Amino acid sequence: MEYNIALLKGDGIGPEIVDSAVAILEKTADKFGHKFNFTPYLIGGCAIDAAGVPLPQETVDGCLASDSVLLGAVGGPKWDDQPGDKRPEKALLGIRSALGLYTNLRPAKLYPALRAASPLKDEIVGKGFDLMIVRELTGGIYFGDRGYREGRYGQEAYDTEAYSVTEIERIGRVAFETAMKRSKCLCSIDKANVLESSRLWRKTMHALSEEYPEVQYTDMFVDNAAMQLVRDPQQFDVIVTSNMFGDILSDEASQITGSIGMLASASLGASTRGMYEPIHGSAPDIAGQNKANPIATILSGAMMLRYSFGLSEEADCIESAVDKVLNAGWRTADLMGSAEGISLTCTEMTEKISEVL
Ligand code: IPM
Ligand code: MG
């Protein structure tokens, strides 16, 4: 099969880790007889420098014309003084919205080989955990009404959390379907004891749960969920939550796996075109030093094969190559911690995975 993939390398370590994922995708294509055509487009700070805007129209058009999109990371101190709507991060929200990617799947699992890198005690993570966070991605406070106004104490800034039944049902359905394919347990996370939007979220999820009698459905307040994730992560399988809560909880989930450098994500909409990216950022402190962990981006490439192209055997093959390399004791600097192993650069890790493929 032949596919056209748009590459949004972005800023910081973005170019290094996307190059790694491309190398692995190319090796996979050779092995299975596919052809992947890669076309780079600018996004984030590098787009501000080259074109004056974080998300050039050419980038949006290029992504819309491709079969799928692979993204590195955006942002860095150089662009921190940009006004809110010209920041590199705005481009990320813009492209998610332009491509209609309302679902964000963020799997977080503990690799047995990396157990020592997890900050949690053995008695908590001894049995491992494997969870899937389903984050709503094009609504909520990230996209709600915002601005400045005169308030009780003078000028104030505000952002608004708003969710419609349609948006909640749309993401809810994805979460229930995801649960049906896994262990049939779904936990919806909200703040319904305080927020009106969360009360509508909960009511809508409850109504939807009646269509999925086989799924064991529960709901939980977000503060409790943040606590439960470090107290007993194994109690969760599929989690569904709003855009902002999902952003926060997925970073927390990544830490308990040992490193944020391991977590991939898939952003999906109504079509098969998705955008795949590591959940970590642009790590400007290590950019250009060949130190970054490419695994989250490589695994994002595997998710692309699985979710957008239906190539699950190929995706399995990449995931198992990552497993084997970790089991053999190969690590990148972020995975060293207290764990034993041999530390590799970004390109060396990519070569190891490629050799095993
Ligand atoms: C993420 C990131 C982004 C988000 C930022 C960079 C806009 O933190 O993908 O988790 O908040 O969605
Ligand atoms: Mg985040």
pLDDT at 112: 86
Q: Which amino acid type is present at position 120? A: L
How far is it, in rounded angstroms, from Cα 26 to Cα 4? 12
Residue 76's pLDDT is 96
Q: Ligand 2 centre and the CA of 44: distance in Å?
A: 15
Q: Which ligand is nearest to the CA of 251?
A: 2
Q: Which ligand 1 atom minimizes the distance to the CA of 247?
A: 10
Which ligand number lies closest to the CA of residue 277? 1
Ligand 2 mean position, distance from CA 166 (Å): 24
303: region left, alpha or beta (phi > 0 left; psi from -120 to 50 alpha): alpha
**For ligand 1, mutation pick of 79, 90, 97, 247 (most atoms within 8 Å of CB):** 247
Distances in Å between the alpha carbon of 203 and those of 74, 88, 104, 237, 242? 36, 36, 22, 21, 14
**What is the pLDDT, as a whole number, of residue 219?**
98
Q: Which atom of ligand 1 is nearest to the CA of 73?
A: 6
- Output the residue whose Cα is nearest ligand 1's atom 9: 279
* Mean pLDDT (10-residue bins), the chain, 357 residues: 97 98 98 98 97 97 98 96 89 96 96 88 89 98 97 97 98 98 97 98 98 98 98 96 97 89 95 96 96 97 97 98 95 79 93 97
d(CA 186, CA 209): 10
Contacts of 300 (CB under 8 A, 6+ apart): 21, 70, 264, 265, 266, 276, 277, 278
Protein residue with its CA nearest to atom 5 in ligand 1: 89
Residue nearest to ligand 1 atom 4, measured at CA: 247
Determine phi and psi for 159, rounding to 5 degrees. -135, 150
Which atom belonging to ligand 1 lies closest to the Cα atom of 137? 12
pTM of the complete model: 0.94
State the distance from the centre of ligand 2 to the C-alpha of 67, rounded, in angstroms: 25
How high is the pLDDT of residue 200?
A: 98
Q: How far apart are alpha carbons 285 and 76 in whole angstroms? A: 9
Predicted pLDDT of residue 53: 95
Three-class secondary structure assignment of the chain: CEEEEEEEEECCCHHHHHHHHHHHHHHHHHHHCCEEEEEECCCCHHHHHHHCCCCCHHHHHHHHCCCEEEEEECCCHHHCCCCHHHCHHHHHHHHHHHCCCCEEEEEEECCHHHHHHCCCCHHHHCCCCEEEEEEECCCHHHCCCEEEEEECCEEEEEECCCCCHHHHHHHHHHHHHHHHHCCCEEEEEECCCCCHHHHHHHHHHHHHHCCCCCCEEEEEEHHHHHHHHHHCHHHCCEEEECHHHHHHHHHHHHHHCCCHHHCEEEEECCCCCCEEEECCCCCHHHCCCCCCCCHHHHHHHHHHHHHCCCCHHHHHHHHHHHHHHHHCCEEEHHHHCCCCCEEECHHHHHHHHHHHC
Which atom of ligand 1 lies nearest, measured to the CA of 93? 7
Ligand 2 midpoint to CA 152 (Å): 32
Measured from the alpha carbon of residue 75, the closest ligand is 1
**Candidate from 55, 74, 85, 92 with most ligand 1 atoms within 8 A of CB, to mutate:** 92
Distance 265 CA to ligand 1 centre (A): 11
b/e per residue 202-222 (b: at least 16 CB within 10 A): bebbeebbeebeebebebbbb
The pLDDT of residue 339 = 59
Protein residue with its CA nearest to atom 10 in ligand 1? 247
pLDDT for residue 151: 96
Give the tokens for residue 78.
């150089």
Ligand 1 cavity residues, CB under 6 Å = 89, 92, 247, 279
Active site residues: 142, 191, 223, 247, 251
